[in-house]
Amino acid sequence: MTTDSLDLRFAAACAIAREAGVLARKRFLERPRSQRPDMKGPQDFLTATDAEVEELIRRRLNGLFPEDSFFGEEGGGSFERDVWVVDPIDGTANFARGIPHFAISIAFVRDGRTEIGVVYNVMQAELYTAQRGRGALLNGEPIKVSGLADMRQATVEAGWSSRLPAKPYIDAVEKLKAGGANVRRAGSGTLGLAYVADGRIDAYCELHINSWDALAALLLIEEAGGWTNNFLGKDGLRSGNPVMGCTPELAEKLIAATGIAKEP
């Protein structure tokens, strides 16, 4: 794949994320307060907007790059050599309950390596972007991880997965707190990881997350000088994996506390 073709895909992903964000914001602001979302499973929310936003993104990308495959959280798809991996709304529970903390995630993967990552923080109009080897940006300005090394000063977001028993999560949180970290959970893995890239928090960890929630933001962290585990190892693209992104200085301490190693 030529640099020009990647540049074109990058520009398209940025524009499509913003367009999809306009739709998501409109639906969020007009949603009836009495609306009850559907449930895919325990604490796993679904709204009509998820499918609507995903279809917009799918249609735009397929129109521009018909040779690329597409996989979305809601509608599925296929994983070919070149694939767009999309979460139309990460933080659906927040969206459904009227909490303005959710994001659109668009990643482009070629030959098992993420080349483009775009995360749009819808309600804050914040566009996080990364193209491999070119750094990470927020609304066009360079961003870097915090560089924090002391766990006693660190803020760590510990994402929770309904696909796993509660005890390993509780144990990990206890170990993080015992190490002195301020532990939080805000309900969007995509934004949690993006905030690591931006230095707003120092680490994000989750014992299992799907690729559509993580890939775009993990590239942001890499390009912002951070440390990430090898999320795509052992077929993480299709099956998901544990995830961790943090400042390089905190990596060993977080591995010890969470059990999330470099290799899944």
Distance CA 93, CA 255 (A): 28
pLDDT at position 43, please?
A: 41
Rounded to a whole number of angstroms, the CA Rg of the chain reads: 17
Contacts of 71 (CB under 8 A, 6+ apart): 77, 78, 79, 83, 84, 85, 86, 212
The mean pLDDT value for 73-85 works out to 95
Task: Please report the DSSP string for 173-188 in residue order.
Answer: HHHHHHTT-EEE--S-
Nearest Cα to 117, choosing from 3, 263, 223, 24?
223
Kindly report the pTM of this predicted structure: 0.94
Q: What is the percentage of the chain residues whose pLDDT exceeds 70?
A: 93
Contacts of 85 (CB under 8 A, 6+ apart): 71, 106, 107, 108, 109, 211, 212, 215, 216, 237
Distance CA 92, CA 46 (A): 7
pLDDT at position 162, please?
A: 84
pLDDT digit string, tens, across residues 223-247: 999 999 999 999 999 999 999 999 9
pLDDT at position 44, please?
A: 46
pLDDT digit string, tens, across residues 4-48: 799 999 999 999 999 999 999 999 998 766 455 555 555 444 578
pLDDT digit string, tens, across residues 161-209: 888 899 999 999 999 999 999 999 999 999 999 999 999 999 999 999 9
In this predicted structure, the answer to whether residue 61 has a pLDDT above a threshold of 70 is yes
Rounded to 5°, angle at Cα 252 from 169 and 256 = 35
pLDDT digit string, tens, across residues 92-142: 989 988 999 999 999 999 999 999 999 999 999 999 999 999 999 999 999
The mean pLDDT value for 151-155 works out to 98
Q: What is the percentage of the chain residues whose pLDDT exceeds 90?
A: 87
Cα 4 to chain centroid distance, Å, stands at 26
